[in-house]
Amino acid sequence: MSYKILHVKSTKDEIDEFAKDVDMGLSANPKYLKSKYFYDAKGVKIYENIMNMPEYYLIASEYQANGRLSAGITDFISGSRINIAEFGPGNGEKTLLFMQNCIQHNLTIKYIPIDISKESITYITDVFTKKLPQISIKGIVGDYTHGIDELTNLEPDNPKIILFMGSNIGNFSNEEEIEFISNIAEKMNEHDSLIISFDLVKDIDTMFNAYNDPYGHTSRFNLNLLDRINTTLGGDINLSNFHHEEPFNQETSCMESYLVSNVDQTIHLNSLDKEFHISSGEKISTEISRKYTLDYIDNLAVEAKIKVVKQYFDDSEGYAICVFKIN
Cβ neighbour number for residue 207 with a 10 Å cutoff: 22
| Total of residues contacting ligand SAM (CB under 6 A) | 16
Q: How far is CA 34 from CA 51, 110, 219, 323, in A?
A: 21, 31, 16, 28
Which residues have CB under 8 Å from 270's CB, separation 6+? Answer: 233, 234, 235
Out of 61, 101, 125, 168, which residue is the one contacting ligand SAM (CB under 6 A)?
168
Instruction: Tell which one of 165, 254, 269, 323 touches ligand SAM (CB under 6 A).
Output: 165
Among 7, 9, 36, 202, the residue binding ligand SAM under the rule CB under 6 A is: 36
- The least distance separating ligand SAM from the CB of residue 235, rounded to whole angstroms, comes to 21
Other beta carbons less than 10 A from residue 304's beta carbon: 21
Cis preceding linkage at 159, omega within 30: no
Q: Which amino acid, one-letter code, is at 84?
A: I
Between 90 and 159, CB nearer to ligand SAM: 90
> Does position 170 bind ligand SAM by CB under 6 A?
no
Partners of 266 in beta bridges = 277
Among 127, 124, 208, 116, which Cα is nearest to 168's?
116
For ligand SAM, the closer of residues 55 and 282 by Cβ is 55
* Using rule CB under 6 A, residue 143 touches ligand SAM: yes
Burial class of 79 by CB neighbour count within 10 A (0 to 12, 13 to 18, 19+): exposed
* Residue 166 touches ligand SAM, criterion: CB under 6 A: yes
Q: Distance (Å, rounded) from C-alpha 160 to C-alpha 46?
A: 32
Question: Of 17 and 303, which has the nearer Cβ to ligand SAM?
Answer: 17
The mark string for 50-79 relative to ligand SAM (x by CB under 6 A, - otherwise) is: ------------x-----------------
125 binds ligand SAM (CB under 6 A): no
Q: Give the torsion sign (CA, 294, 97, 171, 201).
A: positive
Which residue's CB is nearer to ligand SAM, number 70 or number 168? Answer: 168
- With binding defined as CB under 6 A, does residue 224 bind ligand SAM? no
Nearer to ligand SAM, 228 or 267 (CB): 228
Question: Using the rule CB under 6 A, which residue among 144, 172, 180, 198 binds ligand SAM?
Answer: 144
| Site track for ligand SAM across 78-117, x = CB under 6 A | ----------xxx---x--------------------xxx
Nearest distance, CB of residue 15 and ligand SAM, angstroms: 16
Q: Which is nearer to ligand SAM, 116 or 254 (CB)?
A: 116
| Number of residues that this document lists for the chain | 327
Q: How far is CA 116 from the centre of its chain?
A: 10
Residue 323 carries which side chain, given as an amino acid letter? V
Three-state DSSP at 143 gives: coil
Beta-carbon contacts of residue 136 (< 8 Å; ≥ 6 apart) = 1, 2, 3, 109, 110, 111
Residues that bind ligand SAM (CB under 6 A): 36, 39, 62, 88-90, 94, 115-117, 120, 143-144, 165-166, 168
